[in-house]
Chains A and B, each alone.
Chain A
Amino acid sequence: MTSELVPVIGLEVHCRLKTASKLFSACPLRPGAAANSATDPYTWALPGTLPTVNAAAVALAVRLAAALGCEVAEESGWDRKHYFYPDLPKGYQISQHARPLARGGGLEVPDPEAGPWATRVIALQRLHLEEDAAKVHAGALLDYNRAGAPLVEIVTAPVIRSAAEAARVLRSLRLLLLRLGVSDATMEDGSLRCDVNVSLQRRGSSAPGVRCEIKNLNSFNFIERAVTAEVERQEALLAAGVPVTPVTLRYDPARAAVQVMRVKETELEYRWLPEPDLPPLRVDPAAAAAARASLPELPERTRMRYCVLGLAPIEAAQLIDEPVLGDWYDAALTSLGPRGPALARRLCKWLTVELIGRVPPAQLASAKVVPAALAELVRMLECGEVSAPAAKQILDLLVEEGGVPGGIAAREGLLLENDDAALTAAIVEVLRGYPQQVAQYRAGKATLWGYLIGRVMQVLRGRADPQRVHKLLVVALQSPPPGDETI
């Protein structure tokens, strides 16, 4: 019975836009400032204050809408959403209800069940601007610094199929926000927040189930666990023959369970009113087009590029999920020019294993070692200019003091002997010095090969590629240089 039911999930995501001032007033935004020290008369909803729309907030929202492929409305509207709550200074929130900034579009997310590189597009319903509420601290204490901060709300269609996918959607959105530079998109500081709508639907049926909403999930893990708990709750209700009623829930991490907060509001209860203090918001179609034209490579396109470069899915994921790493990698790759694609995989390993082993990702941006230096080191390794152990030694020094790997290698005497004549001279010296062993080898004692190689490497003090020495030694033993009668 319950096996015929499939979850249908939609997300409402709020993310705080990265602006210097608030959405409707010039009040500075100062994350981490002392309580109620970053406010102005508008923030307190003092009588007589009026909203003025922040151009940067609009621009960032349009950029995000462009990246999500939404249709940006030439004219959108502002509406007041009313509810009495002490964190809402005006007694209403200015939002965009009847005419949102943008509609439609979609977010491309990985679909690992369909294959390691597969993706699917989660359809979006709308994207709009609104102002944030004050922060409520335990004990009914309020900090109005956050009140009025610019938020963009993104509402997905109810097309998400599992708790895991819900978490993936939010992760993908976060990466997109970071790539675009429109938000800090950090769940811990509340700059990314998520409500989840969950209903159960009979497989193959188009009749929607009763929707329940889980509010304010503030970590990726909680989203997955909360949705799982809610699906189980609804399944249990239906299995017992109890109809699901529309309720608003909260996830209790301590009990790993959802709990009902109240009956879900209807739109009527918000007493929506067109905002009389603001004219309609106009976005020039040319500005929307310019926003589309100036988009960076979006994360899922990057993933495809890494696929083409031959990275393993897990390597690509590592670079994409950690934007600092991905950006560093791409910078290093770019510095290699046309050699990049050939070295891509090796570079990835050296970045994600060797460098990250020495420098945590968070410190990468301020590290002494720069992307081009790592790229050059990888190239030197590939070209046989240094040995792998020497490369690690050079990397240690790059981390410690910066600089270029070639210079360090030369200074430290870590460059491999590249000149065949010099290598051959060393080989000849060894062959002359150990005539007995040479004769025994030639007579068939193959085990002496390693001995001879070892002597040559000793003469070269390790500064040669053993493979190369091997090749030259074969040649030398088979065909002594002309005029040399001693061997």
Chain B
Amino acid sequence: MTADRAQIVALSAGELADAVRTGTIAAVEAARAYLAQVEDTAARLGAYVRTTPALALAEAAAVDAARARGEPLGPLAGVPYGLKDSLVTAGVATAAGSRMLAGWVPPYDGAHVRRMRAAGAVLLGKLALDEFGMGAHGDLCADVPEDRFLDGAGGERASEHARMDMSGRTFAPVRARSGAEGGADAAARAAARGGGWPSGHPREGSGRGEGPRGAWSSGHVPSDSPSGAAGRRWSGPSNPWSSGHVPGGSSSGAAAAVAGRAAAVAVGSDTGGSIRVPAARCGLVGVRPTWGRVSRAGLVAFASSLDTVGPLARTVDDAARVLTCLAGQDDADSTSLRAPVPDYAAMAARGRGDGLRGVTIGVDPAGLAGVEPAVAEAFAAALATLVGVGAAIVEVALPDPGQALAAYAALSAVEAVSNLARYDGVRYGLCVPKDSFAATAAATRGAGFGREVKRRLVLGAWLQAEPELLARARAARATATAGLQAALAGCDALASPTCAEAGVRVREAVLEDSLRAGRALVDLDVDRFTVAASLAGLPALSLPCGLTAGPPALPIGLHLVGRRLEEGRLLAIAAAFEAATPWRARLFAGPEGA
């Protein structure tokens, strides 16, 4: 890493934007630094499924040109960022971590890339995720980079792949992918001119056809390798803090990229905890906004009434800046809220400066049963820190997490069945032709969806035939919502650990049914602290509150839930906390800083 690059990637997004605005650093310089960083970390992190270097340099050049013309720059001017690959980008393939959408090139931009671009941010690429956002650990990404592009024109890429793959890593090096991405960029430009609908249809079996992949250097093995894969294959990004631990899901690539300095910030999505859990596992600030605060237009839907989009960042200020850009009413999403968007960074700054006098934070001691000791310790220390900056802690009773988790499992599965019904092999994406429509759709969906997605579809289908149980799940959601609202009537925010355990080890594939059953429950319970806010549509965030002793030292997350549309208050609390913690610098330095 050159000194320049090290200096650039060490900056927070806010510092970088300020530097670009003042001309200290050119946006193109920042983009180059991050692109080099992306390339260097690709083998180790596997955060990106597709990079967009040409697009990044073009967007950065546009920022520099605007500055040269004396035009005002956006709040994220020149900030290189990554988008979770469930966020649609015109001209850049978007697969949501699924073989089903392999090679699909959207003809339109989602709200998120539009807003980030408008703010001056520079897109580095698309980030890995658990398929359709369904996964707690980040080890269920079925959209293996690169191999889907092996086609008639792929000989060159294949050789390039071989050349670049000297490390023995199993995923695509950046250069190898840039060829494909260049085409995508061209397509994007064509689309922008109205001259091309850049959609590609994958050949049958693409994404599966390459056979066994080499071993993941970390020994990271997916839980459910597709049958027929004799060897281990890539199934998602790595945790920058420890290759033996999962990054958390489903915004796994987003967390790995930001924590690994392969993006200044990232935009992810959160359904049951998919921003907050990976943020906690990777030592980042992750915000799940109020449902409706950020447009869902352009988010590949998993469970619409629970899905949200928000930032992952290294600092509270960065998260606040990105949220300010993402938030706000959008004509393309009828459920987006019209409430004015405050300057979240300013609110965070006030919290940092003024402390938390008069702020009350609710804690449910009963909820801490069964929490890993290191996490419990860090949480207790976090509460002490909050008190130290003026907050008052009050005891509250929170909704039963078991019921909330069950309601979440049920309702998200039922909505997933509905949202994923469109993937039938007729109009786009994977198609496995058979002699009838129904057989084609069933074969396509059988081949295109991974096992975890199928598990949830089976669960959803089962529930659709059990309307009485579904009604109970809806009632449990209402109960959880009412419980959170009641608790928040007596305090400004609710605090808990984000996850009960400090790190989850990369897992071996399970083959015994008894283990599968156990693992399913463990996976469900990952969201025990995060899922109630999802059900209630309330804003929540996770921020780092410590590290385990290690080795490896693993980040621990503090979870805050606020009242409707009070993201600003949560960020103020988070900023005050962040400023008061002694190991802030250690966390900000990231895993490399150890």
Q: So, do A and B actually touch in the complex, CB under 8 Å?
A: yes
**Which one, B18-26, B362-370, B423-431, is touching chain A?**
B423-431
Q: Cβ of A204 < 8 Å from any Cβ of B? A: no
Contact A273 B427 (CB under 8 A): no
Beta-carbon contacts of B246-278 to A below 8 Å, as 1s and 0s? 000000000000000000000000000000000
- Across-interface contacts of B428 in A (CB, < 8 A): 44, 46
Interface size in chain B (residues, C-beta < 8 A) = 40
- Across-interface contacts of A53 in B (CB, < 8 A): 334
Q: Cβ of B243 < 8 Å from any Cβ of A? A: no
Q: Which of A48, A50, A144, A271 has the most C-beta atoms of chain B within 10 angstroms of its own C-beta?
A: A48
Contact A50 B333 (CB under 8 A): yes
**Which one, A14-22, A157-165, A276-284, A320-328, is touching chain B?**
A276-284
Contact of B106 among A46, A51, A52, A271 (CB under 8 A): A46
Q: Cβ of B13 < 8 Å from any Cβ of A? A: no
Q: Which of B304, B331, B415, B426 has the most C-beta atoms of chain A within 10 angstroms of its own C-beta?
A: B426
**Bound form: Cα–Cα A89–B427 in Å:** 8
Majority-rule SS of A interface residues: loop
- Across-interface contacts of A278 in B (CB, < 8 A): 334-335
**Bound form: Cα–Cα A89–B428 in Å:** 11
**Bound form: Cα–Cα A86–B431 in Å:** 13
What size tier do the contact residues of chain A reach? 20 to 34
Beta-carbon contacts of B204-237 to A below 8 Å, as 1s and 0s? 0000000000000000000000000000000000
Contact A91:B421 (CB < 8 A) given known A47-B96, A50-B296, A84-B441: yes
Q: Cβ of B591 < 8 Å from any Cβ of A? A: no
Beta-carbon contacts of B131-166 to A below 8 Å, as 1s and 0s? 000000000000000000000000000000000000
Q: Cβ of A268 < 8 Å from any Cβ of B? A: yes
Contact A273:B414 (CB < 8 A) given known A46-B108, A84-B421, A90-B422: yes
**Bound form: Cα–Cα A106–B106 in Å:** 47
Contact of A52 among B94, B107, B305, B334 (CB under 8 A): B334
Contact B424 A84 (CB under 8 A): yes
Interface residue ranges of A260-276 to B (CB < 8 Å): 268, 271, 273, 276
- Across-interface contacts of A46 in B (CB, < 8 A): 88, 106-108, 428
Minimum CB–CB distance from A282 to chain B (whole Å) comes to 12
Q: Cβ of B82 < 8 Å from any Cβ of A? A: no
Contact A47 B441 (CB under 8 A): no
Minimum CB–CB distance from B199 to chain A (whole Å) comes to 9
**Bound form: Cα–Cα A86–B421 in Å:** 11
Contact of B334 among A82, A86, A277 (CB under 8 A): A277
Contact B101 A47 (CB under 8 A): yes
**Bound form: Cα–Cα A278–B108 in Å:** 21
Beta-carbon contacts of A2-28 to B below 8 Å, as 1s and 0s? 000000000000000000000000000
Q: Cβ of A350 < 8 Å from any Cβ of B? A: no
Contact of A140 among B335, B437, B467 (CB under 8 A): B437
Interface residue ranges of B435-452 to A (CB < 8 Å): 437-438, 441
Please, which residue of chain A has its CB at the minimum distance from the CB of B106? A46
**Bound form: Cα–Cα A182–B26 in Å:** 58
- Across-interface contacts of B418 in A (CB, < 8 A): 80, 82, 91-92, 271, 273
**Bound form: Cα–Cα A144–B427 in Å:** 10
**Bound form: Cα–Cα A53–B332 in Å:** 10
- Across-interface contacts of A276 in B (CB, < 8 A): 304-305, 335, 415
Contact A50:B305 (CB < 8 A) given known A41-B107, A80-B418, A91-B422: no
Contact B424 A48 (CB under 8 A): no
**Bound form: Cα–Cα A86–B426 in Å:** 7
Interface residue ranges of A47-102 to B (CB < 8 Å): 47-53, 80, 82, 84-86, 89-92
Q: Cβ of A45 < 8 Å from any Cβ of B? A: yes
Contact A41 B108 (CB under 8 A): yes
Contact of B417 among A52, A86, A271, A279 (CB under 8 A): A271
Q: Which of B305, B424, B437, B465 has the most C-beta atoms of chain A within 10 angstroms of its own C-beta?
A: B424
**Bound form: Cα–Cα A45–B421 in Å:** 10
Contact of A279 among B88, B300, B334, B415 (CB under 8 A): B334
Contact of A47 among B94, B331, B415 (CB under 8 A): B94
Please, which residue of chain A has its CB at the minimum distance from the CB of B426? A86
**Bound form: Cα–Cα A90–B427 in Å:** 10
Contact of B300 among A41, A48, A90 (CB under 8 A): A48
Contact A48:B304 (CB < 8 A) given known A92-B418, A271-B417: no
Contact A268 B108 (CB under 8 A): no
Contact A84:B438 (CB < 8 A) given known A44-B428, A89-B427: yes
Minimum CB–CB distance from A268 to chain B (whole Å) comes to 7
Q: Cβ of B76 < 8 Å from any Cβ of A? A: no
Interface residue ranges of B335-350 to A (CB < 8 Å): 335
- Across-interface contacts of A268 in B (CB, < 8 A): 464-465, 467
Beta-carbon contacts of A127-156 to B below 8 Å, as 1s and 0s? 000000000000010101000000000000
**Bound form: Cα–Cα A25–B301 in Å:** 17
Contact A48 B334 (CB under 8 A): no
Contact B421 A92 (CB under 8 A): yes
Contact A273:B422 (CB < 8 A) given known A50-B296, A51-B334, A279-B335: no
- The 9 A-B pairs with the shortest beta carbon distances in the complex, nearest first, are A91-B421, A276-B304, A276-B305, A48-B88, A47-B300, A48-B298, A45-B422, A271-B464, A86-B426
- Chain A residues engaging chain B, CB cutoff 8 angstroms: 41, 44-53, 80, 82, 84-86, 89-92, 140, 142, 144, 268, 271, 273, 276-279
Known interface pairs A47-B106, A48-B94, A91-B424; 11 further A-B residue pairs with C-beta atoms within 8 A, sorted by A's residue number:
A47-B94, A48-B88, A48-B300, A51-B334, A53-B334, A84-B441, A90-B422, A91-B422, A142-B426, A268-B465, A268-B467
| 18 pairs of residues in contact across A and B, judged by CB atoms under 8 Å | A41-B106, A45-B422, A46-B106, A47-B96, A47-B300, A47-B301, A48-B87, A48-B88, A50-B297, A52-B334, A84-B437, A89-B422, A91-B418, A91-B421, A92-B421, A144-B427, A277-B301, A277-B334
